[in-house]
Structure formats: C-alpha cells, structure tokens
Amino acid sequence: MKTLIATIALALMPAAVLAQEAPASEKPRWSLAIHGGAGTLSRDAMTPEKEAEYEAMLQTALDAGAKVLADGGDAMDAVKAAVIIMEDSPLFNAGKGAVLTWDGDAELDASIMDGRDRSAGAIAGVRTVKNPILLADRVRTDSPHVMLVGEGAEQFALEKGFAVTPQSYFITPMRLDALERMKAKQLSALDVDLKFGTVGAVALDQKGNMAAATSTGGMTGKRWGRVGDAPVIGAGTYADNRACAVSATGWGEYFLRVGVAHEICARLRGVKEFNALTAESDGAAALQPEEAEYIADSVMADVKDLGGDGGVILVTPEGHAVFSFNTTGMYRGRATSDGVNEVAIFGSEDKVSSTPDH
C-alpha cells in the first residue's frame, strides 16, 4: 500500500516541485566536462609527443569553457566555447580534420541542447560550415525546427549569414590516408580508425542551468547519407536541468538504438524524484556521484551488450562531473568550481567524480 501511495504521489506531484534543487550553496558552483572521442587507445600506440599534443588541446578546450563558467556565464556559452576549440583542431573528428565519406568529402553533424527549457538544435550532412555547433545553435534559436539536414541546412546557414567554408579546409592528410587504406584493403571504418573522435561538452553554470553539445564527422567511408547519434537529440546529446546533461561518443548505430543520452537523464531524474519523496531534507534528495556513475555505467553496459562501444560525459545539478566508457580510453577532461582541473586519455587513469564544495 505504501508503494502504491508513493507511486500515485509521484504521478500527481507538480513538475515545479519535482524540479526543485537542493538549497543553493554559499559558494556558487559550476562544473564542466569535455570529450574528444573514445576507442582503442593505448600508450604503446601513442608517442609521448602526440599524447602531449592531445592533452594540450583538451586543456585549451577545457580552459575556454571553464572561463565562461567561472566568470558567471551561461552553460550554453561554455559548451560552445569548448566545442569550437575542438572543431578547429585537426586532432579530432569534428570540423577541421573530420573523417571523410566514401566520396572523399567531409559531412558534418552537430547538436546542442539547453537544459532550462529543453530547446534543442541539430544539423546533419553539412559540408560548408566551419563550426557546425554554431549552426546547430542557430537552428535552436532562429528556426521553428530541431533538426535540419543536407542542402536545407546549408541554405539555412546562408540565410543566417554563415560564411561558406570550402571542403579543402576540413580535409587533412591523415583522413585522406585512412579513406584510401579503407578502399584499397576493403576494410571497415573500425579497421582503419579504432577510435571515435567525436567531440562534446556538458556544463552546469552558477545559475543552476545545464547544457550539452556534440559535434562529429561521423565514420570513415560512410555512404548513403549515413547519420549517427551525435546530431540526434536523446541519443548523442541531451540536457535537462532536472537531471543531467550528457554528450556521447562512439559507434552511433548502437547509441541510437539505446537512446543513450536521454536514457541516462531519465534514469537519473527517476532517482532524484524518488530521493525527493523519501528524503527527510532537501539536501538528502540530491544525487550522489556514485548514483550518477552507476547509471551511466549501466547504460554503457547495455550498449556493449548489443555490440557497440564508446563513452559518455555528464554533469548533474549538484555539479558532479562523470565519465563512463566501455573502451580502453577516451579523450576527456573536467573542471569544477571546487578546483578540479584535469585531462586524461587512457582507461587506466583514475575515473573519480568530482564533488563540489556546498
């Protein structure tokens, strides 16, 4: 009977009550996590110079987003600042340096979501926009739609004043070589590149708002207009102030089937609501870092059971910054208002959630 009453109470509880946060801390808190792809990564296959190059670029992106948050800026601006840095770097599979389609072109996908009102924007199959994440955000703010694709997205970009960037800007020797090896040896995308260089960022700002952003070039040699999870709201990107903000990287077909980003947020929201019903104080209703890690790991285990791999980053309303991946490594970083500031690549490195000062 008590279980039934609790279930009914939860169903009838106003959304405003469910969305209540724990009491604000005396010190404003913020949190940021970024990723630059996950996959088969090992120190043996990476030179110290290349490792240092990746770590430096991750730190640059992390610093850009963290500065926005530390200065009292919005989570949306923070995730864009971090993602743009990685889109402009040829080290990652997004923007400049994106992987190439079977025909040798760069086709770019991106999505962004605001946890305040769950407004979202996404683009797919775009070839002439330098920073796809900015176009995705314009879809969110300046159109009645959520996703635009291909020629329509290009036309929208022109109408909104985006410069036309030539394909030569995006194409790098490394990506050309990967495509040529794939065709010559009839390999799969996984055989030529055992890592997913999709980039993403998630943030909690000092006002308690969250945002998520993801950008990618997809998979090497993709054909027939293939689109993965990165531009799909609920699969590769999701943000909801009531629960979390998530950005994913990995084998998109499996992330689409699981609905990874929304699945994680939905489960965390359920835990938070249950805590609110059973807690004796507002503070006790807050999510614990272990709860966030457990749920993220459980969803990634589901992806692995289906045959997929990759990883996610997420932040919670309490400011916990969490990583979860079922691969040997993930390019990643996090910074918080309590002084955490770190970047990492390999799976052997510690994966401990940060707990901000309250």
pLDDT for 15 equals 40
Q: Is residue 4 part of a domain?
A: no
Q: Is residue 339 part of a domain?
A: yes
Catalytic residue among 101, 128, 198, 249: 198
pLDDT digits (tens, 9 = 90+) for 163-178: 999 999 999 999 999 8
Q: Is residue 144 part of a domain?
A: yes
Domain range for 142 is 28-346
pLDDT for 76 equals 98
Which amino acid is residue 58, in one-letter code? L
Alpha-carbon gap, residue 215 to 308, rounded angstroms: 19
Q: Is residue 13 part of a domain?
A: no
Looking at the chain, the whole-number percentage of residues with pLDDT higher than 70 is 85
DSSP 195: E
Q: Is residue 121 part of a domain?
A: yes
Which tokens in the block code for residue 269?
């929201």
Query: How many domains are there within the chain?
Result: 1
pLDDT for 1 equals 42
Alpha-carbon gap, residue 317 to 287, rounded angstroms: 8
Q: Is residue 15 part of a domain?
A: no
Q: Is 235 helix (H, G, I), strand (E, B) or coil?
A: coil
What angle is formed at CA 103 by the lines to CA 97 and CA 107, rounded to 5 degrees? Answer: 45
First to last CA, the chain: 37
pLDDT for 195 equals 59
Bridge pairing between strands 119-126 and 108-114? antiparallel
Alpha-carbon gap, residue 225 to 185, rounded angstroms: 22
pTM value is 0.88
pLDDT for 193 equals 57
How large is the C-alpha radius of gyration of the chain? 20
pLDDT digits (tens, 9 = 90+) for 15-53: 433 334 434 446 789 999 999 999 877 777 788 999 999
Which amino acid is residue 146, in one-letter code? V
pLDDT for 182 equals 80
Alpha-carbon gap, residue 348 to 340, rounded angstroms: 19
* CATH classification of the domain holding 41: 3.60.20.30
Place of tokens 């760069």: 106
Q: Is residue 37 part of a domain?
A: yes
Order the strands of the 321-325 sheet from edge to edge.
237-240, 244-250, 310-315, 321-325
Beta bridge partners of residue 246, listed in sequence order: 238, 314
pLDDT for 190 equals 54
Alpha-carbon gap, residue 177 to 185, rounded angstroms: 12
Is 198 part of the annotated catalytic residue set?
A: yes
Low-confidence ranges of the chain (pLDDT < 50): 1-25, 350-358
H-run or E-run covering 199: strand 199-204
Q: Are 148 and 188 in contact (CB under 8 A)?
A: no
Q: Is residue 6 part of a domain?
A: no
DSSP 319: -
pLDDT for 13 equals 45
